[in-house]
């Protein structure tokens, strides 16, 4: 049973455009929703995170939108840059562990 569903699998965006990645979860007990960014050959690194008592969180060009009733959350990357090209993972947590989505490969074309 996949507890965190992520879409799309891959995404191509032009430089300066908006990248949008969506995730849906099933377990209403999840209480922490981070996004991780991974470059090829490296480990993932935390990008931004949100808790369910907040509907939106913005850090620079990155924004998480959270819809608790729909059990969905999304990552928006504004003014996407070629350096943003990476794999992005959403995740959800309760207590001790993180459950990850399957990832989205983002390519920002120059």
Partner 1 sequence: DGGITQSPKYLFRKEGQNVTLSCEQNLNHDAMYWYRQDPGQGLRLIYYSQIVNDFQKGDIAEGYSVSREKKESFPLTVTSAQKNPTAFYLCASSRTGANTGELFFGEGSRLTVL
Question: Interface with partner 1 by CB under 8 A: which residues?
Answer: 6, 9, 31-32, 34, 36, 41-46, 49, 89, 93-103
Closest CA to 89 of 42, 28, 31: 42
Q: Residue 100 CB, nearest distance to partner 1 (Å)?
A: 4
Nearer to partner 1, 69 or 97 (CB): 97
Q: Which 8-state DSSP code applies to residue 4?
A: E
Residue 2, classified by CB atoms within 10 Å of its CB into exposed (0-12), middle (13-18) or buried (19+), is exposed
Q: Residue 10 CB, nearest distance to partner 1 (Å)?
A: 10
Q: Residue 16 CB, nearest distance to partner 1 (Å)?
A: 28
Nearer to partner 1, 81 or 99 (CB): 99
Nearer to partner 1, 19 or 101 (CB): 101
Distance of CA 94 to the CA centre of its chain: 17
**Is residue 29 a contact partner of residue 39, using CB atoms and an 8 Å limit?**
no
């Amino acid at each position: 049973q996949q507890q965190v569903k992520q879409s799309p699998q891959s995404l191509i965006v032009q430089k300066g455009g908006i990248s949008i990645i969506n995730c849906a979860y099933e377990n209403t007990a999840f209480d922490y929703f981070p996004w991780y960014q991974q470059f090829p050959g490296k480990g993932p690194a935390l990008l931004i995170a949100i808790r369910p008592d907040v509907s939106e969180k913005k850090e620079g060009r990155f924004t998480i939108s959270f819809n608790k009733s729909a059990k969905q959350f999304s990552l928006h990357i504004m003014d996407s840059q070629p350096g943003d090209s990476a794999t992005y993972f959403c995740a959800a947590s309760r207590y001790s562990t993180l459950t990850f989505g399957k990832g989205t490969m983002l390519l920002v074309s120059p």
